[in-house]
């Protein structure tokens, strides 16, 4: 018997790649081409324009040797220095059968700390934030600075949903946030 973790199965090797680049020079095509050329597959990906930068995150999946080949190919992609690229080996996300997926939407007049307060509420209730997209914008009609967030959360299935929803809506009322919390519909 050994204390070593078992070696992943043939295609159960994962490489998480994060790239930041200038908006005008998206490396998405070049990145996806290298993943494919190395014999890997894109398991998940995210692309977002943040400020004047483009953020790309890719979870590549493949055999151990294909992932090693991809690591070398990424080093070549980053040689010119125009990209800020990091990567590391990881594993697939474990299934969370004890969590219920819910979507939270929040809109409010913008003020410092809204996102922190939302994250703190969920952390205090042991609720995981699975995805989050927030933005600040000006209201078309009034020009007021506004905050908007769409959050996917995982609620433990042992939690009383009506009580949680009441606590959340009371929390939002106290901060003058307009919010909804609904089950995710697939």
Q: Is the pTM of this model over 0.75?
A: yes
SS (H, E, C) the chain: CCCCCCCCCCCCEEEEEEEEEECCCCCHHHHHHHHHHCCCEEEEEEEEEECCEEEEEEEEEECHHHHHHHHHHHHHHCCCCCCEEEEEEECCCCCCCCEEEEEEEEEEECCCCHHHHHHHHHHHCCCEEEEEEEEEEECCCCCCEEEEEEEEEEEECCCCHHHHHHHHHHHHHHHCCEEEEEECCC
- For 54-107, how does the pLDDT look when each residue is reduced to its tens digit (9 = 90+)? 999 999 999 999 999 999 999 888 776 778 999 999 988 777 678 999 999 999
């Amino acid at each position: 018997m050994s204390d070593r973790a078992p070696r992943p199965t043939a295609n159960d090797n994962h490489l998480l790649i994060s790239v930041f680049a200038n908006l005008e020079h998206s490396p998405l095509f070049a990145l996806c081409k290298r993943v494919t050329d190395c014999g890997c597959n894109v398991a998940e990906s995210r692309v977002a324009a943040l400020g004047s930068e483009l953020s790309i995150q890719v979870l590549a999946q493949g055999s151990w040797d294909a992932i090693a080949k991809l690591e070398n190919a990424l080093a070549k992609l980053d040689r010119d220095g125009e990209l800020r690229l990091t990567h590391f080996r990881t594993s697939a996300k474990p299934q969370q059968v004890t969590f219920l997926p819910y979507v939270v939407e929040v809109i409010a007049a913008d003020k410092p700390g809204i996102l922190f307060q939302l994250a703190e509420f969920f952390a205090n209730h042991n609720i995981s934030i699975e995805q989050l997209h927030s933005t600040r914008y000006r209201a078309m009609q009034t020009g007021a600075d506004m905050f908007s967030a769409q959050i996917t959360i995982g609620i433990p299935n042992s939690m009383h949903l009506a009580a949680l929803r009441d606590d959340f809506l009371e929390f939002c009322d106290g901060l003058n946030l307009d919010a909804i919390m609904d089950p995710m519909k697939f």
